[in-house]
Chains A and B, each alone.
Chain A
Amino acid sequence: MSWKQKSVAVVGAAETTRMGKIPDVSVIGLHADAALNAMADAGLKPSDIDGVATAGISPVELAHYLGIKPTYADGTSVGGCSFMLHVRHAAAAINAGLATTILITHGESGRSRVGAGGFGRSPSSLMGQFEMPYGPVGPPTMFTVPVLRYLKTHGLKPEDMAPVATIQREWAALNPRASFKDPITVDDVMNADMIAWPFTKLMCCLVTDGGGALILTSAERAKDFPQKPVYVLGTGESVETPMVSQMYDFNHSTAFRISGKKAFETAGISHADVDHLMIYDAFAHLPLYGLEDLGFVKPGEAAAFIKERNTAPPSGGKPGGKLPLNTNGGGLSYMHSGMYGMYALQESVRQMRGTAAAQVPGAKISVSHGVGGMFAASGTIVFSNEAP
Chain B
Amino acid sequence: MPPRMLPEPTPETRHFWDGCREGELRLQRCTSCQDSYFPPRPFCPHCGSRDVEVYKASGEGVLWSYVINQRPRPDMGTEPYAIAVVKLAEGPTMMTNIVDCPQTPEALQLDMPVKVSFSKQSDDISLPLFAPVKG
Binding site for B on A (CB under 8 A): 122-124, 126, 128-137, 141-142, 144-149, 152, 193-199, 243, 245-246, 250
C-alpha gap A116/B68 in the complex (Å): 29
Shortest Cβ gap from B16 to chain A (Å): 8
Residues in A neighbouring B17, C-beta threshold 8 A: 129
Partner of B66, one of A122, A145, A194: A145
Select the residue from B6, B8, B67, B76 with max chain A CB neighbours within 10 A. B67
In the complex, the answer to whether B39 meets A129 with C-beta atoms within 8 Å is yes
Is B69 interfacial (CB-CB < 8 Å)? yes
Enumerate 29 A-B pairs (CB-CB under 8 Å) in ascending A order: A122-B8, A123-B6, A124-B8, A124-B9, A128-B7, A129-B7, A129-B9, A130-B39, A132-B5, A132-B7, A133-B6, A133-B127, A134-B84, A135-B81, A141-B67, A145-B65, A145-B85, A146-B65, A146-B85, A147-B65, A148-B65, A149-B64, A194-B70, A195-B71, A197-B80, A199-B67, A245-B93, A245-B94, A250-B93
Partner of A198, one of B4, B13, B67, B71: B67
3 A-B pairs with least C-beta separation? A129-B7, A197-B68, A245-B95
Known A-B contacts: A137-B73, A141-B69, A196-B69. Give 9 more (CB < 8 A). Answer: A124-B7, A135-B75, A136-B83, A137-B69, A141-B67, A145-B85, A147-B65, A243-B95, A246-B93
Q: Closest chain B residue to A146 by CB distance?
A: B65
Q: Closest chain B residue to A247 by CB distance?
A: B93
Shortest Cβ gap from A143 to chain B (Å): 9
In the complex, the answer to whether B73 meets A135 with C-beta atoms within 8 Å is yes
Which residues of B, 1-50, contact A by the 8 Å Cβ criterion?
4-10, 13, 17, 38-39
Beyond A146-B65, A250-B64, whether A198 also contacts B105 by CB under 8 A is: yes
Shortest Cβ gap from B20 to chain A (Å): 11
Shortest Cβ gap from B19 to chain A (Å): 13
Q: Closest chain B residue to A248 by CB distance?
A: B93
Residues in B neighbouring A196, C-beta threshold 8 A: 67-71, 83
Q: Closest chain B residue to A128 by CB distance?
A: B7
Is B112 interfacial (CB-CB < 8 Å)? no
**Chain A contact residues: helix, strand, loop or mixed:** mixed
Shortest Cβ gap from A157 to chain B (Å): 11
Residues in B neighbouring A195, C-beta threshold 8 A: 70-71
Binding site for A on B (CB under 8 A): 4-10, 13, 17, 38-39, 64-73, 75-76, 80-81, 83-85, 93-97, 105, 110-111, 127
Partner of A130, one of B83, B84, B95, B110: B95
Select the residue from B9, B66, B75, B83 with max chain A CB neighbours within 10 A. B83
Residues in B neighbouring A135, C-beta threshold 8 A: 69, 72-73, 75-76, 81, 83, 97
Residues in A neighbouring B72, C-beta threshold 8 A: 135, 137
In the complex, the answer to whether A149 meets B110 with C-beta atoms within 8 Å is yes
Beyond A134-B83, A148-B110, A245-B93, whether A250 also contacts B71 by CB under 8 A is: no
Shortest Cβ gap from A69 to chain B (Å): 40
In the complex, the answer to whether A250 meets B94 with C-beta atoms within 8 Å is no
Residues in B neighbouring A129, C-beta threshold 8 A: 7-10, 13, 17, 39
C-alpha gap A126/B72 in the complex (Å): 22
Q: Closest chain B residue to A201 by CB distance?
A: B70
Beyond A130-B7, A197-B70, A245-B94, whether A141 also contacts B65 by CB under 8 A is: no
Shortest Cβ gap from A125 to chain B (Å): 9
Residues in A neighbouring B75, C-beta threshold 8 A: 135
Beyond A149-B110, A196-B69, whether A130 also contacts B9 by CB under 8 A is: no
Shortest Cβ gap from A136 to chain B (Å): 6
C-alpha gap A289/B6 in the complex (Å): 32
In the complex, the answer to whether B66 meets A126 with C-beta atoms within 8 Å is no
C-alpha gap A356/B76 in the complex (Å): 45
Select the residue from A128, A134, A136, A197 with max chain B CB neighbours within 10 A. A134
